[in-house]
Structure 1
Amino acid sequence: MGTENLSHLGRAFAVLESLVEPKSSAEISRELDVNRSTALRLLRELEAIGYVRREPDNLMFALDANRIRKLYAGREIDPANWRDKFDTFLKTIRDEFGEAAILGVPANNSMVYASYLDSNNVVAVREQIGTVRSMHCSALGQAYLSTMDEPKLTELLKDISYLEGTTRAPQNEKELRERLVAIRERGYAIDNEETFEGGMCVAVPAKVEGKVIGSLGLSGPASRMVKKAEEAGARLMEFVSAH
């Protein structure tokens, strides 16, 4: 299966589709027609965010059945839907706004970049797939938290330390809950220099067949993003509403 025309996100889903049984990085490399270092990097990134694990006896890579089962909640969801849906949109919104486009997924009470399309601008916020952001201070995390029902939210907030981020970020549960109320009313989350100075991100919950699986975001220098935030939020909401 040639993957030369797929983005990094597309290749990651190709790996997941290939792991119907445990395989080595060499086998994945041959099936995807990529070099072994690329295959190993994809596998390690998927392992880091919990979708792939290593078999303890032979170090082969396999799908983490518990994570997949928990994510899909017993429903049949075709991973190809993710690839077609998010990959195309991330490219589109990156090109429309000239800023980095992100798909973040929850892992260990943080948000991990499952896909990251860099900005075309010379001056930009440079990050990468696998970047980890705290839920309480990132737009990706706050957008995801805003969708939770009260029992799940209360349980998750017990483990948030509020140590990361800038002084602009929520400093306690009360402040975070106030942000979540505003996000639900507005429809999108805004991280205005809360994760780090000079950076700004707008994000909305990302869904597959009605189930929230993470967040979609647009990120860039605050000096540019502050002028685009409202329009970017509306564009992200438009996409989510249509799908």
Structure 2
Amino acid sequence: MTARIRVGLVDDQALFRTGIRMLVSSQPDLEFVGQAGNGVEGIEMAAETLPDVILMDIRMPVMDGIESTRAILAAADARGGTPPRIIVLTTFDLDEAAMRAIRGGASGFLLKDTDPEFLLAAIRTVHAGTSVIAASATKELFENFDSSSPSNTVVPEEFDTLTAREKDIFVLAARGLSNAEIASTEFLSEATVKTHISRVLGKLGLRDRVQLVVFAYENRLTD
């Protein structure tokens, strides 16, 4: 039997936490393992329960979701464990704080009023290694990354370690193409594309495709 996906929640609204706990617990492949009411408690909860995926509110008392995300991922790296995938939750369609959270290592963001089925699908998607971003905000979010990057950005040395094929796939992934779409464009199998993406992430020291997109926009490598 496949192990259930362990889910944690950090949010300062008790009613929202109760609703999410009930929603997650209703799914046979998910297990709700812990909750916290602020970022500091979130760090403690993550260390104690080791969730696979954490739903993280951005705006909370004591410590916000941005700092909590950074601390949780840093702690996971320090102990040599597998870091949790973190989905930040926001009430705003395009939230500058969400952009900062993604820079800090979050695997994506969703609106707090997103459809329950979409939220559950996002948990499974992120756990499988793919990023999730509120669809209506994707273009604007990464335009913000682009506009906030200096115009004289120097291409990082590690980018030059990629092969020509890996650079091509990097650019296509940065533009938001799926593995199937990249495979069709490059006349490769999806398995081969997945292997190339894994190698690209490894060479660039990136966690996932969200981090790849951020890296591409910050260094103006999308062309």
For the criterion TM > 0.5, the same-fold answer is no
Larger strand proportion of the pair: 1
- The alignment's TM-score, normalised by the length of structure 1, stands at 0.28
- The alignment's TM-score, normalised by the length of structure 2, stands at 0.29
